[in-house]
């Protein structure tokens, strides 16, 4: 009889889950991205202690059709929480719940009762009327005002993020032209050829305001932060 070495339960569970409909996912890029037969969801939060991804069928739904709690060990890299979910298609509605310290004096106002939008979402649903008052993290009727945690769930009155499988280039020439077009009152004149060529200076020589392109690489900065955290550690 051949004896096989025993394996830890956690190892087996991890291996099985990586072949399931929900996997650890990748920390980059931020927001949503279609990968294989599913979608990778990522959100940044340095001080969060708990993150939940909620998937909805309709914008007005108070309860999600599916809720996925992210594991702080498997679904977190540095300050980025991530998860890959199989079978997600364009038009899928989603949002997050994020828990952590509620310490207004320290700048922390985590409230798991509140539904949060993805800051990198390409679109959000329409839900008239939007009741943003219910989105307050504090209880305005309490004597302590913003020091009192609100226990009101606002999911039924909040819009939801919409997964759109159409990459949006924030630094595209058309986007820059549209933005600068609304700033004519400042004396901005855009040079179409320079803008299309992604030149360093895209304004005309006679423009009262010089418009320059500042090169950034967000994913590189996140990668550097993650490497630094993995190398030196970080206090949470």
The pLDDT score that the predictor gives to residue 17 is 47
Residues 27 and 89 sit within 8 Å (Cβ to Cβ)? no
Residue 221 lies in a domain: no
Overall domain count for the chain? 1
Q: Kindly report the pTM of this predicted structure.
A: 0.66
Residue 223 lies in a domain: no
The pLDDT score that the predictor gives to residue 218 is 67
The pLDDT score that the predictor gives to residue 19 is 52
Residue 230 lies in a domain: no
Backbone angles phi, psi at 156, to 5 degrees: -75, -20
Residue 228 lies in a domain: no
Residue 109 lies in a domain: yes
Selected residue with higher pLDDT from 10 and 166: 166
Selected residue with higher pLDDT from 34 and 126: 34
pLDDT band at 236; cut points 50, 70, 90: very low
The pLDDT score that the predictor gives to residue 12 is 39
Distance of CA 105 to the CA centre of its chain: 25
Residue 235 lies in a domain: no
Residue 131: pLDDT over 90? no
- What tens digit of pLDDT does each residue of 137-189 get? 888 888 888 888 888 898 888 899 999 987 666 668 888 888 888 888 889 99
- What tens digit of pLDDT does each residue of 56-90 get? 999 989 999 999 999 999 999 999 999 999 999 99
Domain hosting residue 39, numbered range:
14-165
What gap in Å lies between CA 212 and CA 29, rounded to an integer?
25
Instruction: Identify the CATH number of the domain in which residue 67 sits.
Output: 2.60.40.10
Residue 218 region, left (φ>0) first, then alpha (ψ -120 to 50), else beta? Answer: alpha
Residues 162 and 127 sit within 8 Å (Cβ to Cβ)? no
Instruction: Kindly state the tokens that stand for 137.
Output: 């993290």
Q: What residue ranges in 131-234 does DSSP mark as E strands?
A: 161-162
What gap in Å lies between CA 184 and CA 204, rounded to an integer?
13
Instruction: Kindly state the tokens that stand for 88.
Output: 């997600």
- What tens digit of pLDDT does each residue of 184-233 get? 888 999 999 999 998 999 999 999 999 998 877 767 777 777 777 666 65
- In this prediction, residues 125-138 reach a mean pLDDT of 78
What gap in Å lies between CA 114 and CA 94, rounded to an integer?
13
Residue 78 lies in a domain: yes
Residue 79 lies in a domain: yes
């Amino acid at each position: 009889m051949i004896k096989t070495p025993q394996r830890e339960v956690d190892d087996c569970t991890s291996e099985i889950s990586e072949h399931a409909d929900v996997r650890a996912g990748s920390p980059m890029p931020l927001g949503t991205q279609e990968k294989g037969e599913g979608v990778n969801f990522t959100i940044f939060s340095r001080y969060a202690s708990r993150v939940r991804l909620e998937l909805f069928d309709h914008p007005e739904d108070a309860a999600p059709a599916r809720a996925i709690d992210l594991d702080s060990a498997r679904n977190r890299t540095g300050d980025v929480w991530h998860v890959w979910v199989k079978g997600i298609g364009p038009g899928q509605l989603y949002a997050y719940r994020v828990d952590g310290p509620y310490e207004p004096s320290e700048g922390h106002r985590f409230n798991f009762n509140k539904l949060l939008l993805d800051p990198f979402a390409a679109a959000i649903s329409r839900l008239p009327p939007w009741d943003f008052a219910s989105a307050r993290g504090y209880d305005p009727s309490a004597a302590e005002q913003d020091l009192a945690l609100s226990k009101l769930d606002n999911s039924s009155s909040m819009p939801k993020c919409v997964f759109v499988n159409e990459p949006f280039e924030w630094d595209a020439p058309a986007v820059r032209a549209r933005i600068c077009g609304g700033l004519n009152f400042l004396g901005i004149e855009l040079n179409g050829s320079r803008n299309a060529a992604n030149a360093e200076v895209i304004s005309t020589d006679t423009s009262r305001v010089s418009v320059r392109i500042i090169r950034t690489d967000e994913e590189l900065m996140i990668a550097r932060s993650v490497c630094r955290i993995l190398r030196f550690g970080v206090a949470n």
